[in-house]
Structures are given as structure tokens and as C-alpha cells.
Amino acid sequence: MNQDKTADEKPGGGYDPGGVRRQFAILGRNLAWLDNAATTQRPEGVLRAMDEFYRKHNANPRRSVHQLGTEATAAFEGARARVAEFIGAESPQEVVFTAGTTAAINLVTDGLARWDIGPGDEVWVSAVEHHSNWVPWQQAARRMGATLKVIPLTPEGRLNLDEFETGLQAHRTKWVAVAWVSNVLGVANDVQAVCRAAHAAGAQVLVDAAQAVAHLPVNVQALDCDFLAFSGHKMYGPMGSGVLWGKRALLEQVEPTVFGGEMIARVDEATSTWAEVPYRFEGGTPHVAGAVGLATAIDWLSEFPPEAHVYVADLARRAEEELAALPGVRVWGPRAERLSLVSFSVEGVHPHDVAQVLDSRGVEIRAGHLCAQPLMRRLGVESVARASFFPGNTVDDVRRLVEGVRAAQELFT
């Protein structure tokens, strides 16, 4: 492969993935982990921080007067402050810890009782949404008798914001739910423009940032969205950790839907009152180790040099170009704009068979509908294959990917 011309060009201006790679014992199996968009692996530091919480500080936060309880509270609220800083929130009180993106979005869609939404009103999602930012809105709209509308795609695969803006109806459009980065197409959507247009029509915007947080600088004020959701496990943090951020005044409007301990101000036999935001949304003992791991992952990922992100985009572009150059391979989404992933189809070979052959060579990719069946239908396929990168992947991983796809073609066609 060293004779290969493209392979000699250094991606990411000479950034060396070795330092990052060494922090992931799991990659020592000579795995090319190219399923980072589904879940990243966790560096040693994150694992250690979680372990340390359980070994040294474990207790329920916010309800114990003892020493460990105090330490657990400090760890949990410290993590909240770290998240707030990471996303540019006005205050940690705007940060709700959840089990992940899906839980965060459902928290909003289940808590819409105070929004006056009914027949004739509209809720929008975009054509690229993951099921977790589609089904909750679909179900909420059905429940409330509102209409679900879809921001369509341009022929190149970008959100068609012209059609969105013409379709918006002042005072009728109530909510817009949009992914910052599609987990299938891998390009950043202009969510700022979506927010501007939606706000002009009086609607709120929830941004699904699950695929953005590991790759783009996040600032909720600059985006000017109303709610933002993401998962810890897609950004080197633990599974079961995640965040809903909301503008304070709007979070106040969301009804809590998980009732129990921790989330109340006072309980009488027949009635209860709620704790302050964000605690009213965190009923039950929370995943403190998860929050600690997430905050540690934020520290860790914030230390990537800017070249690391350029490097990841270079790997994705290289994969895109080399795959697209194979006869019978089709790459999905706008060309040459991808942040970290590439989805593709191989003529005559089912994505699961592509993934199986790659797996037999230690190359781990995702195949399936990627939880985006409405988008799959628009693309005219049932499923696709997807390779997704992080700063610990190498040019050799890309080579193994492309060679594996060629091997699958040879086997099946």
C-alpha cells in the first residue's frame, strides 16, 4: 500500500493518532474500530474516573448529610457545571442529566402539556432524523392531533431550507426537531438557519447533537436553539449518560413526567410540588458515575488539537474517495463535506454481508437502516453500510476498509 500515492499524503497536517490510540486498550486487538458514530470507545482516563467514583466517593447525591454523600453531590454537580461550560450554557441549572439522547428528547415530547398544540398546528422534523428524533415527535403530534411535517432534502442531500421556510406557518408551527449532524449523511446541517426561521415563526427548536458533540465546537448561545440533546457514549463517555440542555425559561414550561424521589419540593397525600429545574426532571437516584465519566470525557476531548478534527475529516474523505472509486460502490450524501463518517452501498452485496466480511478481517463497521428508515426510503434503499472515524483511527484502517469492501465484492458478485 505504500506505493499507493494517496496513502503517502499525511492526513491532518501530520497529526499522529498514536497517542490517542494508546489510551484505548480495547483497540489492542488490532481492531479497526470504524463504528464510532454508533458508540466510541472510552479512554483509560474515563474508565478510571468512573471506577474512582465508585471506589472512593460512592453515595446518593443531594440527599445525604454524610461525608460520602457530600462528595457524591460535589462530583455530580461538578459534572453538571463542566457540561454547562462545554456547551456554552448560561448556567448549570439549564443542564439536565439523562440516560442519553433518546431519553432527553422523550423528556421534552412527553412534557409538552403546557404548550397549546392541537389540530391545525404543526411539528417539523427533518428528513435525516434518527428514529429517536422522529418517533417521539411523530407520537406527540398524533397524540395532540397536530400535523407532522418533514424538511425535505435537496438532490445533493442537504436540508432544503427554502422549502422549510416557505412551509413554516407563523403561530401554527410549534416545534422543529433537527439533527445538527446526520448519522447517515455525515454532514453538518445549518441549524442556525433553521433556528432563525423557526423563531421568526414563533416555534421552538430542539437540536439533536448526538453526532456533533465529538466533532464540532458546541455553543448553544451561538446556535440560538432552544433545546439540545446528546449522549455521553458517542463522545468517549459512558453508556447511560446524556444531556438535555434547555433555555431556562422553556425548561420551566416542560412538565416533569418521571415522578418519585429527588424531583419533588413537597409531597402531601393528594398533591405534590416540584423541585427546581433541572432537578424536577431527574427523578430517582441518578447515574452519578455516568455524569462523572461524561465530564472526564469532555476534559479529554477538549484537549484534542484542532488538527485532530481535520485529521478525522481527512480520513472520512479519503474513505469516501477510495470507496466511490470502486465500481459498483455508491457513497451517500453531499461529497467532500463529511466530518467523520461515510455511508455507502455496494451493488449486489447486502450491507450486512459487507459488514460480515469486514468483521472477518477485524474491520468493524455498522450496517442496517441506521435507525433512519424514513431517510432510507428517500434514498431508495433498505439499509446501508457506514464507516465512522475518531482521532485514534489510522490511514491503515481506511486501507483495510477499502480492501475488505473489494473482498466482499469478489465474494458475492
Partner 1 sequence: MSVTDEIYQDLILHHSRRPRHYGPLPDATHAAAGDNPLCGDRYEVRLRLDEKSIIRDAAFEGSGCAISKASASLMLDTVIGLSRDEFEELFRTFHALVSGETPSPEAVAQLGKLAALSGIWKYPARVKCAILCWHAVHSALAGQAHASSEEEFASNSL
Does 411 bind partner 1 (CB under 8 A)? Our answer is yes
Here's the x/- map for partner 1, 292-331, by CB under 8 A: it reads as ----------------------------------------
351 binds, among partner 1, ligand PLP, none (CB under 5 to 8 A by kind): partner 1
Minimum distance, C-beta of residue 257 to ligand PLP, in the bound complex (Å): 17
Q: Which residue, 274 or 412, has its beta carbon nearer to partner 1?
A: 412
Based on its alpha-carbon atoms, the radius of gyration of the chain, rounded to whole angstroms, reads: 22
Separation between Cα atoms, residue 320 and residue 338, nearest integer Å: 9
Selection from partner 1, ligand PLP, none that 133 binds (CB < 5 to 8 A by kind) is ligand PLP
Residue 376 binding partner per list partner 1, ligand PLP, none, with a CB distance cut-off of 5 to 8 Å that depends on partner kind: partner 1
Q: Minimum Å distance from CB 114 to ligand PLP?
A: 25
Task: Rule CB under 8 A: choose which of 216, 359, 362, 394 binds partner 1.
Answer: 359
Residue 41 vs 409, nearer CB to ligand PLP: 41
The rounded distance, in Å, linking the Cα atoms of 201 and 204 is: 9
The answer to whether residues 401 and 385 touch, using CB atoms and an 8 Å cutoff, is: no
Q: Does 357 bind partner 1 (CB under 8 A)?
A: yes
* Cell digits of residue 239: 453508556
Nearest to 237 by CA among 286, 183, 295: 295
- Pick from 103, 65, 40: which is nearest to 287 by CA? 103
Nearer to partner 1, 19 or 348 (CB): 348
The answer to whether residue 350 forms part of the interface with partner 1 (CB under 8 A) is yes
Residue 36's binding partner, choosing from ligand PLP, partner 1, none, with beta-carbon cut-off 5 to 8 A by kind?
A: none
Phi and psi (nearest 5°) for 214? -80, -10
State yes or no: residue 373 binds partner 1 (CB under 8 A). Answer: yes
Candidate list 187, 371, 375, 401, residue with the active-site label? 371
**In whole angstroms, what is the distance from residue 373 CA to residue 150 CA?**
14
Q: Which parts of 152-237 are beta strand (E)?
A: 173-179, 204-208, 227-231
Q: What is the closest distance, in whole angstroms, from the C-beta atom of residue 366 to partner 1 in the complex?
A: 11
User: What would the grid cell of residue 241 be?
Assistant: 449518560
Collapsing DSSP states into helix, strand and coil, what is residue 140?
helix
C-beta separation of 119 from 145 below 8 A: yes
Residue type present at position 185:
L
List the one residue out of 292, 288, 311 whose CA is nearest residue 300.
Answer: 292
356 binds partner 1 per the rule CB under 8 A: yes
Is 195 considered catalytic here? no
Residues at the contact surface with ligand PLP, assessed by CB under 6 A: 100-102, 130, 132-133, 179, 183, 208, 210-211, 231, 233, 371
Q: Which residues are catalytic?
A: 371
